[in-house]
C-alpha cells in the first residue's frame, strides 16, 4: 500500500470511529470501496480537500453530520423497482400469507419509502392489506420524513406506472395518487397500516417477530461481518416459515444462515425460513 493510501485509510477509519463514538452512527463495517467513493463525493461538494477536514466539520457541527449521513447512505430507490420481484411475491408469497390471520412485515432500510408504498398497493390489490402491519425502518431520519409524507415527484409517475404494470398491476396507476403541482400525493389509506420508525441495522436489535422481512439492496453496502450480523438479526426476527426477500444480486449463499432457509423463488432471492 502506498503512503498516501495508508494515510487515507487511517483518516477514514478515524472519521468513522469519531462518528460512532460521538454520534452513535456505526459505518465501521460498511463495504469500504463504495463508502470511500461517497465520502470523497461529500468532501468535494463541501469544497474540502481531505478526509480529516471533513472529520473536523462533522464532529464540531451536527449540520454536517446530517448532510454526510444523507450522502453516504445510498438512497436510490423507485416504486416497483425490479418488477419481476413483485410478480413472484404476488404468485408465490401472497398465497402463503393468505393462510395467516395477521401479517407482520418488516421493510428494513426503506429509504424514502417508494418500495414500501409499492408493497402496500400490492397487498391492497390482493385484499390482504387490512390484515397487515408494515414496519418500515431506516437509520436516516431525513429519508424517513420523506417516506412518511407519501409524496413523490410527479415527473417519475410515468416510469412508475410502467413498472407497476410490469409488476402485475392491472389498475390505472393514477388511481393511487392525486397530482398537485409537481407532486404525486399517494392515497392516505396506503399509509394506514405502515409504521415508519428509526432502526439502524448496524447497531440495533430485533423488535418483533415477523412473517415477512424485506431488505433489498441494503446489505451490499456492508462488509461480510456486518452482513453476518444482519442475517443473524433477520433469522432471529423471522417466525418459522417466515419469508425473506433480498435484492436481485444478494443471496444467502456466502452466509452461515443459508442452511436455515429454502428458496421460494431463487431467481428473485425470495427465501423461506424452514429451521
State the residues that interact with another protein by CB under 8 A. Answer: 1-2, 5, 9, 13, 17, 21, 26, 28-29, 31-34, 36-38, 74, 76, 203, 205, 217, 219-221, 223-229, 232-233, 247-251, 253-254
Q: Closest distance between another protein and the C-beta of residue 102, in Å?
A: 27
Q: How far is CA 274 from CA 113, 212, 227, 266, in A?
A: 29, 13, 20, 15
What is the rounded distance in angstroms from the CA atom of residue 87 to the CA atom of residue 92?
A: 8
Please enumerate in sequence order all residues whose Cβ is within 8 A of that of 27, keeping only pairs 6 or more positions apart, or say none: 16, 19, 20, 35, 72, 202
> Residue 106 Cβ, how far from another protein at the closest point, in Å?
17
Distance CA 190, CA 188 (A): 5
User: Which CB sits closer to another protein, 162 or 189?
Assistant: 162
Residue 69 CB, nearest approach to another protein (Å): 15
Toward another protein, which CB reaches closer, 38 or 131? Answer: 38
11 versus 125: smaller Cβ distance to another protein: 11
Judged by beta carbon, residue 32 or residue 128, the one nearer another protein is: 32
Between 20 and 64, name the residue whose CB sits nearer to another protein: 20
CB of 117 to another protein, least distance (A): 19
Q: How far is the CB of 77 from another protein (least distance, A)?
A: 8
- The strand pair at 261-265 and 270-273 is best described as antiparallel
Taking the least distance from each CB to another protein, the nearer of 224 and 266 is 224
Contacts for 242 with CB less than 8 Å, ≥ 6 apart:
209, 210, 211, 212, 213, 272, 273
Three cell numbers written together for 128: 390482504
- All three cell numbers of 50, joined, read 481531505
**Least distance CB 248 / another protein (angstroms):** 8
Query: Where is 137: in which H helix or E strand?
Result: strand 132-138
Q: How far is CA 223 from CA 101, 200, 203, 250, 266, in A?
A: 37, 15, 14, 13, 23
Amino acid at each position: 500500500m502506498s503512503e498516501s493510501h495508508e494515510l487515507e485509510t487511517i483518516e477514514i477509519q478515524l472519521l468513522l470511529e469519531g462518528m460512532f463514538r460521538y454520534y452513535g452512527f456505526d459505518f465501521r463495517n460498511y463495504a469500504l470501496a463504495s463508502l470511500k467513493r461517497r465520502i470523497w463525493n461529500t468532501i468535494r461538494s463541501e469544497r474540502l480537500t481531505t478526509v480529516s477536514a471533513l472529520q473536523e466539520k462533522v464532529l464540531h457541527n451536527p449540520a454536517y453530520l446530517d448532510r454526510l449521513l444523507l450522502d453516504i447512505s445510498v438512497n436510490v430507490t423507485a416504486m416497483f423497482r425490479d418488477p419481476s420481484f413483485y410478480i413472484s411475491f404476488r404468485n408465490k408469497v401472497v398465497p402463503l400469507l393468505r393462510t395467516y390471520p395477521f401479517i407482520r412485515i418488516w421493510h428494513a432500510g426503506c429509504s424514502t419509502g417508494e418500495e414500501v408504498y409499492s408493497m402496500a398497493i400490492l397487498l391492497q390489490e390482493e385484499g390482504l392489506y387490512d390484515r397487515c402491519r408494515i414496519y418500515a425502518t431506516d437509520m436516516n431520519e431525513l429519508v424517513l420524513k420523506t417516506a412518511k409524507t407519501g409524496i413523490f415527484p410527479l415527473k417519475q409517475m410515468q416510469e412508475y406506472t410502467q413498472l407497476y404494470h410490469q409488476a402485475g398491476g392491472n389498475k390505472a396507476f393514477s388511481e393511487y395518487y392525486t397530482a398537485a403541482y409537481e407532486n404525486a400525493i399517494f392515497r392516505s389509506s396506503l399509509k394506514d397500516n405502515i409504521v415508519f420508525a428509526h432502526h439502524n441495522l448496524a447497531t440495533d436489535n430485533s423488535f418483533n417477530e415477523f412473517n415477512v422481512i424485506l431488505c433489498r439492496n441494503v446489505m451490499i453496502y456492508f462488509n461480510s461481518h456486518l452482513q453476518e450480523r444482519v442475517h443473524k438479526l433477520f433469522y432471529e426476527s423471522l417466525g418459522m416459515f417466515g419469508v425473506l426477500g433480498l435484492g436481485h444480486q444478494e443471496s444467502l449463499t456466502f452466509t452461515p444462515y443459508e442452511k436455515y432457509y429454502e428458496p421460494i423463488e431463487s431467481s428473485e432471492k425470495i427465501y423461506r425460513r424452514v429451521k
